[in-house]
């Protein structure tokens, strides 16, 4: 028998180009536009879909699948989809068809009994997985060496990570995550599955490690893991699971985190040559690109070519005028006119929205601005549960813009919000049917799970660059997750067709070409190539002189952290205690080696003062400035501000709030009071590029300030909320490193040090904070009424919390956000 030649999408396109008005093409366009088809058109489309699915290349198979899915959903005829799903091993689809859409014809299918039995091989607890998912799980379970697991969003990577952790509880295991939000989610997943494994303690902070643990489970960002390794030079890990591993590649706007992750992997491998490294990502084209220079390891890999979802792309240019909504057809690479026009972005959102929608914007400033605009234009009456409004009002402030938006069915979510509020927003959006829109930024790319049926991109950028193909695919993969499509209660096969809207709005650059953007990101045969920007992953022979110099600096930095960890020759090791501590605490604000003589001199000068032991915030800020910044070349503009006495007074005030563990309401009040004391140009407050709306001087290139003279009291309250988070982050990620160095130099009173670092010198509260509790929750559950429900051993850093505390906190009227947070720390859903 002669083999059938595979048909390629390229050949199919040639046919369309030579015969632009083919019967198939006309029928297909009608199907995509949602128009009714006659029986002949349906027969013709399904016949071609079968041919494409069986004899086409992968891209043409996707076209065949799209036809079948769109037809089945339009006419509620799921027999073609059922057959396709069985043939391809898309078991969640076939089971959902059987349970929700089946009829007598389907039940009388000749092989139905056999298929039903066959599908039980794909059952996982109370849900079904696809053949591709099954292969990924088997690969991970059976593989006890280095590997890369590549699978799209929704394919169960998180569950595989959890399973891998529980199968290695006799070892030292660490999950590396890219953000604190994902850290909290991962910890919660582990606790949710811990009842059978007796896992009660998960290390989420370097100070939780006591040094005596024979085995443990840790969930850490790369910064926290590096700090853990630096504090414990003999610590070796057995297995490390790296989530969102594509972050190791870095990008052209890299903030250094990819380098830091690579340095951490080098240290781990140098300390234990037998360590197992498992990488998890939705997009890695060549697993060998994940190999870090300076160490040797082989990597096996497993991916899947399944295409269970089939996106529908739409674009609309609303930059300055009304525009027509167009369908982008990713197989023919053409645009289809819909004859549907919208006057503006808000009209489009109201006309195209589903019950749950994601709106993507690049900048937090634009997110808040558009959220308020959308809320102001929503004529619906207030529709949200008053309990949610009261909860956030009590925790933050009644005039918080988020509350105004929530009342109109809108939430926003970005990195400038308090972390616990971001997590709470995810919860209420997931659970409350009256909340229709979540307006968010690239925080969504870091594994945040939000239920949504449609996504609207009002910007095509991440930072200053366009979203890359992998970032775009990762972003749209957050829509219609498998848990929503195949839910036993609310599963809906229409969700197999997520709609992705790319809108040229006022938040886009006027020169942006959204047609070019979508064709270079969504065309079906576009392959994702790894963009390796991390110098520690690049081939040395491909580097220019500048890159080689930067690489040597990174390696020398690593050598000073972990001696003899690289092959670098003639390393310049620092000699003084203060310079060594700067390396140990990951100081990047100046060249430590070049600055070493000045650091030694500044430290000696400070020690010669009359009262060198630091006991208050003013003295602390002045000590940081005089020892670390005085006459030293600082490369960070934020740090450079501390050269000004007014800035040092301001941060002394911030540290006072921190040391007294002030609530958000108290800090907001203090900000408003502080601003009220300012006059004239002092009311031009510096906020940087992220939030700036005004320029101080006409020669300024960018607006870096907010002019409070133009803002009313409600505006000032919301600016204060933003500034509190920004300043808390500045203290946490910039200043606290210097405070730790001063403590190690024994220049800070120990009680004051604990007050500044933890907001309390109470050993119970400090233990809770080390275990990832917020200061607000820690203060709440150490009250007398919970003493029988919370057992804290601060000598061993161990905590036991009885489940009954949730009911008790509700009886006592504790804020719902605190009750929500405590569920992240106990096995409670």
Q: What confidence tier does 111 reach under pLDDT thresholds 50, 70, 90?
A: low
Out of 38-52, 199-213, 372-386, least confident range: 372-386
Q: How many residues does the chain have?
A: 829
Alpha carbon distance 626, 643 (integer Å): 9
DSSP SS3 for 766? helix
pLDDT reported for residue 464: 86
Q: Which of 301, 265, 309 has the alpha carbon at shortest distance from 283? A: 301
In the chain, the N- to C-terminal Cα span, in Å, equals 59
Out of 35-39, 485-489, 751-755, least confident range: 485-489
Token digits for 135?
Answer: 């292969």
Alpha carbon distance 688, 706 (integer Å): 9
Alpha carbon distance 238, 275 (integer Å): 5
Please provide the DSSP assignment of 237-253 as one string.
Answer: -SEEEETTGGGGG--TT
Alpha carbon distance 301, 324 (integer Å): 44
Out of 8-12, 553-557, 604-608, 660-664, least confident range: 8-12
**In whole angstroms, how large is the CA radius of gyration of the chain?**
29
DSSP SS3 for 10? helix
CA 613 to chain centroid, in Å, comes to 41
Torsion of the alpha carbons at 372, 376, 379 and 383, rounded to the nearest 10: 40
Give the residue with greater pLDDT, 786 vs 194.
786
Most confidently modeled range among 90-104, 614-628, 632-646: 614-628
Token digits for 731?
Answer: 């203290």
DSSP SS3 for 496? helix
pLDDT reported for residue 2: 46
Q: Which pLDDT tens digit goes with each residue over 126-185?
A: 788 899 999 999 999 999 999 999 988 878 888 899 999 999 999 999 999 998 888 888
Torsion of the alpha carbons at 644, 648, 654 and 656, rounded to the nearest 10: -160
Q: Which of 829, 822, 826, 820 has the alpha carbon at shortest distance from 391? A: 820
Alpha helices (H) in 481-634, listed in sequence order: 482-485, 514-522, 545-561, 577-584, 592-607, 617-624
Alpha carbon distance 664, 657 (integer Å): 10
Q: What confidence tier does 609 reach under pLDDT thresholds 50, 70, 90?
A: confident
Alpha carbon distance 47, 684 (integer Å): 68
pLDDT reported for residue 113: 58
Token digits for 195?
Answer: 């009842």
Backbone torsions φ then ψ of 460, nearest 5 degrees: -110, 20
Do 558 and 565 touch, CB atoms closer than 8 A? yes
Token digits for 517?
Answer: 């953007």
Q: Quick check: 631 pLDDT over 80?
A: yes
- Let me know the angle formed at the C-alpha of 452 by 450 and 455, rounded to the nearest 5 degrees: 110
Query: Strands, E, within 478-608: which ranges?
Result: 499-504
Q: Which of 645, 659, 583, 578 has the alpha carbon at shortest distance from 617? A: 659
Token digits for 543?
Answer: 């580097």
- Let me know the angle formed at the C-alpha of 235 by 234 and 238, rounded to the nearest 5 degrees: 135
Q: Which pLDDT tens digit goes with each residue over 244-296?
A: 999 999 886 666 899 999 999 999 999 999 999 999 998 899 999 999 998 99
Do 330 and 339 touch, CB atoms closer than 8 A? no
Q: Which pLDDT tens digit goes with each residue over 433-485?
A: 899 999 999 877 776 778 899 999 999 999 888 999 988 998 998 899 888 89
DSSP type of residue 576? S
Give the residue with greater pLDDT, 348 vs 195.
348
Give the residue with greater pLDDT, 107 vs 302.
302
pLDDT reported for residue 106: 56
- Flag whether the pTM goes above 0.85: yes
Backbone torsions φ then ψ of 99, nearest 5 degrees: -80, -30
Do 232 and 174 touch, CB atoms closer than 8 A? no
Label the pairing between strands 300-303 and 147-150. parallel
Q: Using H for helix, E for strand and C for coil, what is the string for 687-704?
A: CCCCCCCECCCCCCCCCC
Return the percentage of the chain with pLDDT > 90, whole number.
Answer: 65
Q: What confidence tier does 1 reach under pLDDT thresholds 50, 70, 90?
A: very low
Please provide the DSSP assignment of 633-657 as one string.
Answer: ----HHHHGGGSHHHHHHHHHHHHH
Torsion of the alpha carbons at 689, 692, 695 and 699, rounded to the nearest 10: 10
Alpha carbon distance 312, 497 (integer Å): 6
pLDDT reported for residue 335: 96
Q: Which pLDDT tens digit goes with each residue over 776-813?
A: 999 999 999 998 999 888 777 778 899 899 999 999 99
Alpha carbon distance 598, 586 (integer Å): 18
DSSP type of residue 773? -
Alpha carbon distance 349, 346 (integer Å): 5
What is the average pLDDT score of the chain? Answer: 90
- The set of residues, in sequence order, having a beta carbon less than 8 Å from that of 276 and lying 6+ positions away, is 144, 145, 146, 238, 239, 240
Please return the burial class of 690, using the count of CB atoms within 10 Å of its CB with bins 0-12, 13-18 and 19+.
Answer: middle
């Amino acid at each position: 028998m002669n083999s059938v030649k595979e048909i390629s999408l390229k050949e199919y396109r040639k046919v369309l180009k030579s015969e632009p008005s083919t019967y198939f093409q006309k029928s297909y366009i009608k199907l995509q536009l949602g128009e009714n088809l006659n029986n002949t058109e349906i027969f013709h489309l399904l016949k071609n879909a079968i041919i494409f699915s069986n004899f086409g290349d992968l891209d043409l198979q996707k076209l065949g699948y799209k036809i079948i899915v769109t037809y089945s959903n339009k006419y509620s005829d799921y027999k073609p989809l059922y057959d396709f799903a069985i043939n391809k091993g898309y078991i969640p689809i076939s089971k959902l068809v059987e349970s929700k859409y089946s009829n007598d014809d389907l039940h009388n299918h000749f092989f139905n009994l056999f298929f039903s039995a066959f599908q039980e091989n794909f059952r996982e607890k109370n849900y079904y997985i696809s053949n591709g998912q099954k292969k990924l799980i088997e690969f991970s379970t059976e593989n006890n060496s280095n590997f890369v697991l590549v699978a799209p969003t929704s394919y169960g990577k998180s569950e595989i990570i959890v399973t891998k952790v529980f199968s290695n509880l006799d070892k030292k295991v660490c999950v590396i995550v890219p953000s604190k939000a994902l850290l909290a989610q991962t910890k919660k997943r582990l606790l949710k599955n811990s009842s059978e494994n007796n896992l009660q303690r998960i290390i989420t902070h370097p100070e939780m490690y006591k040094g005596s643990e024979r085995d443990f489970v840790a969930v850490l960002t790369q910064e926290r893991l590096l700090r853990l390794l630096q504090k414990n030079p003999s610590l070796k890990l057995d297995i490390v699971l790296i989530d969102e591993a594509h972050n190791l590649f870095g990008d052209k706007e890299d903030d250094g985190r990819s380098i830091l992750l690579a340095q951490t992997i080098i240290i781990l491998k140098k300390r234990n040559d037998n360590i197992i490294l498992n990488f998890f990502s939705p997009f890695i084209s060549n697993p060998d690109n994940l190999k870090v220079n300076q160490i040797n390891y082989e990597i096996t890999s497993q991916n899947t070519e399944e295409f269970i979802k089939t996106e529908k792309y739409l674009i609309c240019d609303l930059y300055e005028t009304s525009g027509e909504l167009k369908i982008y057809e990713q197989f023919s690479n053409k645009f289809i006119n819909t004859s549907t026009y919208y006057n503006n972005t808000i009209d489009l959102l109201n006309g195209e929205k589903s019950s749950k929608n994601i709106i993507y914007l690049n900048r937090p400033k634009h997110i808040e601005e558009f959220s308020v605009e959308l809320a102001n234009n929503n004529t619906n009456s207030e529709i949200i549960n008053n309990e949610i409004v009261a909860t956030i009002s009590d925790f933050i402030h009644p005039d918080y813009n988020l509350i105004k938006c929530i009342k109109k069915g809108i939430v926003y979510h970005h990195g400038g919000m308090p972390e616990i509020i971001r997590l709470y927003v995810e919860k209420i959006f997931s659970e409350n049917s009256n909340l229709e829109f979540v307006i968010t930024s690239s925080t969504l790319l870091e594994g945040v799970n939000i239920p949504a049926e449609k996504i609207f991109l009002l910007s095509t950028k991440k930072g200053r660059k366009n979203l890359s193909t992998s970032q775009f695919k990762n972003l749209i993969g957050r829509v219609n997750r498998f848990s929503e499509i195949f839910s036993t209660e609310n599963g809906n096969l229409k969700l197999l067709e997520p709609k992705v809207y790319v809108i040229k709005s006022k938040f886009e650059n006027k020169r942006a070409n959204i047609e070019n953007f979508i064709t270079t990101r969504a065309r079906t045969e576009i392959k994702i190539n790894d963009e390796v920007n991390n110098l520690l992953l690049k081939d040395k022979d491909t580097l220019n002189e500048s890159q080689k110099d930067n690489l040597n600096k990174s390696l020398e930095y690593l050598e000073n952290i972990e001696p003899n960890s690289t092959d670098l020759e003639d390393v310049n090791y620092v000699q003084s205690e203060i310079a060594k501590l700067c390396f140990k605490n990951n100081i990047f604000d100046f060249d430590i080696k070049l600055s070493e003589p000045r650091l030694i001199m500044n430290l000696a000068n400070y020690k010669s003062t009359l009262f060198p032991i630091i006991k208050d915030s003013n003295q602390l800020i002045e000590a940081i400035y005089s020892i670390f910044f005085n006459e030293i070349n600082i490369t960070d503009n934020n740090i450079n501000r501390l050269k000004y006495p007014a800035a040092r007074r301001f941060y002394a005030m911030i540290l006072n709030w921190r040391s007294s563990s002030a609530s958000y309401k108290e800090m907001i009040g203090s900000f408003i009071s502080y601003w009220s004391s300012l006059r004239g140009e002092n009311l031009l407050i510096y906020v940087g590029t992220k939030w700036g709306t005004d320029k101080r001087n006409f020669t300024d290139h960018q607006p870096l300030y907010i002019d409070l003279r133009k803002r009313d009291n409600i505006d000032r309250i919301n600016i204060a909320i933003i500034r509190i988070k920004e300043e808390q982050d500045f203290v946490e990620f910039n200043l606290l490193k210097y405070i730790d160095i001063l403590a190690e130099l024994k220049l800070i009173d120990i009680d004051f040090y604990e007050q500044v670092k933890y907001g309390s010198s109470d050993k119970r509260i400090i233990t809770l904070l080390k275990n990832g509790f917020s200061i607000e929750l820690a203060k709440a559950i150490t009250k007398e009424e919970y003493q029988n429900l919370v057992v804290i051993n601060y000598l061993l850093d161990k905590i036991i919390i009885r489940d009954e505390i949730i009911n008790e906190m509700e009886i006592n009227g504790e804020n719902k956000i605190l009750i929500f947070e405590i569920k992240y720390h106990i096995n409670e859903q």
